[in-house]
Amino acid sequence: MSDSSLPQRPLEQTAFDEWPDAVRALFDGSSLASKTGFTASLLTVDANQHIRTSLLGAGELYAPDSRTLCIALWPQARAARAIAQSGRAALSFVLEEAFYQVQLLVAPLPPADGDDSGLVYMSCTIDSGETQSVRYARLTSGITFELEEGAEKVLDRWERQIEQLKRAAALGG
């Protein structure tokens, strides 16, 4: 049974291989005081195949061009060790009411002359990127959102989905 009042394609996805202008502006290294609330999740896979998340702020992310993101991590961070082993990471964040997830290829960068911060620097190239948004909800920050008009119908649909998930889990386990 379908709900004809919902859009036919509620999920909107856009692929990219270069930073959109709004992301470039966010990661341009300027006006950091105005970007202090921004947080991105850096996802890595460690040697035990566990997914790890490191939270990064605007002061740890810099996009020098349309396909690159440089990151600064503490050398003892699990993410730094995992990236050193795999050369890969994913970055996810919310910006302008859309969810971004970017697959990154990562290589070490040498520290700048005179740098005694102790940080490890890495250069990430976009392998693939994607934005996602839905018409029935507006992402407000992080993974928090508000339901828009028609919330009751969305909640009803979620109830049905959860029931289906419960049934599927009971059959599978």
3-state secondary structure of 15: strand
Q: Work out the end-to-end distance of the chain between its first and last CA atoms, rounded to an integer number of angstroms.
A: 27
3-state secondary structure of 22: helix
Question: What ranges do the domains of the chain cover?
Answer: 11-133, 144-173
- Residue 161, pLDDT above cutoff 60: no
- Residue 111, pLDDT above cutoff 90: no
Q: Which pLDDT does position 139 carry in this prediction?
A: 84
Query: In terms of CATH architecture, what is 11-133?
Result: Roll (2.30)
Q: Which pLDDT does position 118 carry in this prediction?
A: 80
3-state secondary structure of 156: helix
10-61: pLDDT as tens digits:
789 999 999 999 999 999 988 887 888 888 999 999 989 999 999 888 888 9
Q: What is the mean pLDDT of the chain?
A: 83
Taking the C-alpha atoms of residue 64 and residue 125, their distance in angstroms, rounded to an integer, is 11
97-109: pLDDT as tens digits:
999 999 999 998 8
**Would you give the distance in Å from CA 158 to the centre of its chain?**
24
What pTM, to 2 d.p., does this model score? Answer: 0.78
